[in-house]
Structure 1
Amino acid sequence: MAVFTDLSEADCGRIATAYRLGSLTSVIGIADGDAETTYLFRSGRGEFIVTLFESGAEPFDVERAFQTMETLSGAGIPCPATLRTDVGAATITVAGKLVAVVGFVPGSRLSEATPGKCHALGTCVARIHQTLGRSRNRVPLGLPTGPVHGALNRDNVFFVDEMVSGVINFRFRHNDVLIAELAEVILHWAVTADGTLERTLVRALLAGYEDIRSLNEAEWRAVSAFVMAAAATVFARDGRLTDLEAATQRVFLSAKNCIEEIRP
């Protein structure tokens, strides 16, 4: 999140009116990474996150994200509350940008991974997969596929104490092999500075996930390879090309050793 587009007082008033936020008491720009402009609006009704999409999002993209959050919230999975206009629209256009508003999510992003937080995250990931994938498909190798969040990194999950308090940013939802997303979560949340995986965190993530959805034999066999694939993607995106093969091999061997010790 960041501020790339300034809002005038009139712009803020138009947003508050469209989404029935009430009289605004403060408007604060949030300068925190990302590629979109984000504000915190405060009013008598509460606190709201207002996003101005700088990257060419379409109303359909935001509507699908809203529907996803509404489905998950209905199942008790912590997501931002969605706000719609009088005609039920998820978005309006202000200052030449598409705008959406959601409720403020309590908690904070992770500063240090712990087994308790990773167990809670694993459970949350499985609940997302289970809720969105009521009719799940399988690819020929026996790996279940279905809707996934698409960006369950440390920027998009909030915690209060050891519990997940909110999952945000559902614009990247797509269909994929479920174990591929779980492998990405393992990489993002359990990798150490030397490029290996912290075994206690991997164990906690998988235990939390399996509390809700058990992995099948094909998934247990494949998870290490998917962790390696996730690592290769991250390292290549970060420009780590000179040691790409060695780095991904190190992650793979670490994942393989973890899985061999953990799997039932």
Structure 2
Amino acid sequence: MTCFFIGAGPGAPDLITLRAQRVLARCRTCLYAGSLVPTAVLDHLPADARRIDTQALELDEIVAEIAAAHERGEDVARLHSGDLSVFSALAEQARRLDRLGIPWEIVPGVPAFAAAAAALRRELTVPGLSQAVILARYARNASPVPDSETLERLAEHRSTLVVHLGAHALAEIVARLLPYYGPDCPAAVVADASRPDERVVRAPLAELPARAAEAGVRRNAVIFVGRALAAEGFCDSHLYSPARAASLRGE
């Protein structure tokens, strides 16, 4: 038996991987976050698979369900929205499974920020302007962040900044970022990326909270700040340059 932690993608049912589909087809038990994972993804499970919505369960209850499936010899699908590598609560679940001797694997998925960037039709790294992307989350009503990773410390880099789980505190976030990025810095909020009700709000940083409120954005949103969001007149990358091509040809 194996517990598969599966990235279910940002919301659109077809934004899961072929590997995820194949794994789901063999799992007799599936635990999923009902408020975030589209139910259409569950269609890839066997018809008689146990489906357990975890949104009202505590961590120990979730692990107990996995352990029970382990005792029955059943593979388990543990579905998370987006990808497991960031803000997924994978680590604490995996730690408990290791203690119980239950094997587990990760099946990566499409992260929310990637789907949101696609909605913006923007590359987050632009030659000569921004070559780093900082992924962060907001700490109000959630686990604290280290002192070295406060918004102010991250904003000092002036890289492309992507903030998860902060739509409810957008005005507060913007106020903290303004001294570093400036009021005219390009910014955006993408809510429910890849879903039918997707909303995209673009505005200068200082105007973003008001524009987002007008659009009714309150949750399930990703916040972007950085010059790359409106880059023009930038240089071409070295990747396809004549100099690199000549070097590869040995000239």
**Is TM more than 0.5 here?**
no
* Larger RCO, structures 1/2 (Cα 8 Å, 6+ apart): 2
Give the number of the structure whose alpha-carbon radius of gyration is greater: 2
How high is the TM-score relative to the length of structure 2? 0.29
How high is the TM-score relative to the length of structure 1? 0.28
